Structure formats: C-alpha cells, structure tokens
Amino acid sequence: MSPTPRGRLFLATIVVCSFALSGCLTLDPTVSADTGSSAVFEDLSPTEPWSGPGVRVNATLRSTPEASNVTTITVIRSNGRTYVTTSVDSGQSTVILTLPANAGATIVASNSVNSTTVEELNVTTGGNRLL
C-alpha cells in the first residue's frame, strides 16, 4: 500500500523539522572546486535543493585516460579522516558522492588495483544553513 499525499507531506515535514531543530539543515547547497584543470572531474553539482549533514553531489567524470583508470573515489574531511568511499565501475561517467556540509574536503580519485592516486581535488560546500 503506497502512502497518501497527505502521509508523504507529513513524513517530509517531520524529516525537515528534525534536521532544522538539530541544526543540520542546509538549503540551496553549493559545491566549489577548480575542475577546469582536473584530468578526472568535469563537473560537481548538488543533486538536491537541501541537505542534512552531508551534501549529495553528482560528479561527472571526464573522458580521459586518467579518469578511465579511477576505481575508487574517497572523500577526506579537512581533519584528515575519511568521510566516505565510493567504487567506480569501468566506463562509469557519473558518480554520486556525499561531501560534508558547509566544510572543506579533498576528493581523492584512485586506482585500487595498483594502489595509485590518480588525482586529488579540493572542494568546499556551502549553502544557507538553518539553525
């Protein structure tokens, strides 16, 4: 049985209020990175108009030999700790990543087969943070 429109609205309201009251809601999230000189990343853009503690980002990969060698993408927080690791399949051109909200991070594209780092890209996320 699928939820009614009223039930979906109620559930969405509960989720948004929970994030807002916990101080973890960001509206219109942004992601900034210098992809112009990147051999791996063509574009990074938020996938949704709001975020919780993490910003979901659509990462478009370039059609380059370097990008085709990437098998793993790891997001490293500014404190040096791993935030999330995502596998990349051969031929995959887009990857959904989660970046820490309202913070800086480093995206590390690597080849796990031969344990090499293909590229590191510094990123910053922002947006209208609600308290």
The fold of the 27-126 domain, in CATH, is Immunoglobulin-like (2.60.40)
User: What is the maximal distance between C-alpha atoms in the chain?
Assistant: 52
| E strand intervals along 14-90 | 25-33, 41-46, 50-51, 54-61, 72-77, 82-87
> Which amino acid is it at 21?
L
Q: Which of 60, 68, 55 is nearest to 41 (CA)?
A: 60
Q: Residue-wise pLDDT tens for the chain (131 aa)?
A: 566 777 777 666 666 655 544 546 788 899 999 999 999 999 999 998 888 889 999 999 999 999 999 999 999 999 999 999 999 999 999 999 999 999 999 999 999 999 999 999 999 999 887 65
The pTM score is 0.80
Two structure tokens written together for 87: 């596998």
Angstrom distances, CA of residue 39 to CA of 94, 106, 121: 14, 15, 10
